[in-house]
Amino acid sequence: MHTVTYLQAINEALREEMDRDERVFIMGEDVGWNLLGATGGLKDRFGTERVRNTPIAEAGFVGAGAGAAMVGMRPVVDMLIAPFVYPAFDQIVSIIAKSTYLYGGQAKMPIVLRAPMLYGAGNAAQHSDRPYPTFMTIPGLKLIAPASPYDAKGMLKAAIRDDDPVICFEDWTLTGLRNEIPDEDYVIELGKAAVKREGSDVTIVALAGAVPHALAAGEQLAGEGISAEVIDLRSIVPLDRDTILASVEKTGRLVVADPAHIMGSVASEISAIVAQEGFWSLRAPIIRVATPHTHIPFSATLERPLYPTTEKIVNAAKRAMA
């Protein structure tokens, strides 16, 4: 075992998969210069053929990545920040998500898009989005949002080995997290949530940067006599319905914490699933803790209160228990 940060875990996953499979290469804006800290040392180790800086032309290099994947390579396309998926939207939706279906399974699309979410850092409206709910609506894409160094490494490695397209939404509020990970090779199956804390009174399902707040809320609630079960969703598509429904069947109450905007959110989809498939288990209304339906301001004073916090999750759980 050794201790790594969230960023170091991503770097290890990239390096190990490039060592393991010569078809894996990285491309994107400034990847050779390690601008955000996840690609350090890779250009020196693998050269510029496999660590390729691109122009500021997202539609172009995402399309090039799609073409490379269709002819047998395994590209990891670094979007630099998550909102830069928007200029490449047509390539992602019309080509990457649909090609396997359109060609009757004759074409595979083993491509990973890394989409770091830099919210909560004064990046204002254009650069602070958490756009995974938009892509959740598009068939053909797998979406993951690891919330720990252990998951970041294991899920990214699994994504790179997957024959389907995966978008990895990396939450930059978690980059300072540290934990121990195995020295040996490991992968984490996509589509499986993780029960981080067992409980019997209320289920708290959390995603991405909301997970540490949910765990802290679970600790605080325990001190007040409320037993909270905390689930780290980890995978958005496929979504682990069984783990969520089994927990709600046990607790009878559900709080969902999601850093994205509340309208059309992952929190909304989970709420709909439980309302439809687990209704008779519920003892109280489902409560969503998510970002209001508004653009993100530049001012830290205005931005900071928008996202899920430990206090908001605790209050939601207490309302569910009332």
**Residues 255 and 317: beta-carbon distance below 8 Å:** yes
Q: Rounded to whole angstroms, how far apart are CA atoms 96 and 194?
A: 28
Q: Rounded to whole angstroms, how far apart are CA atoms 123 and 81?
A: 11
Q: Buried b vs exposed e over 251-275: b needs ≥16 C-beta within 10 Å?
A: bbbbbbbbbbbbeebbbbbbbeebe
Q: Identify the active-site residue in 127, 261, 293, 295.
A: 127
Q: Buried b vs exposed e over 90-113: b needs ≥16 C-beta within 10 Å?
A: ebbbebbbbbbeeeeeeebbbbbb
Asked if 127 is an active-site residue, the reply is yes
Q: Rounded to whole angstroms, how far apart are CA atoms 168 and 225?
A: 37
Residue 216 one-letter amino acid: A
Q: Rounded to whole angstroms, how far apart are CA atoms 77 and 66?
A: 9
Rounded CA Rg of the chain: 19
Active site residues: 127
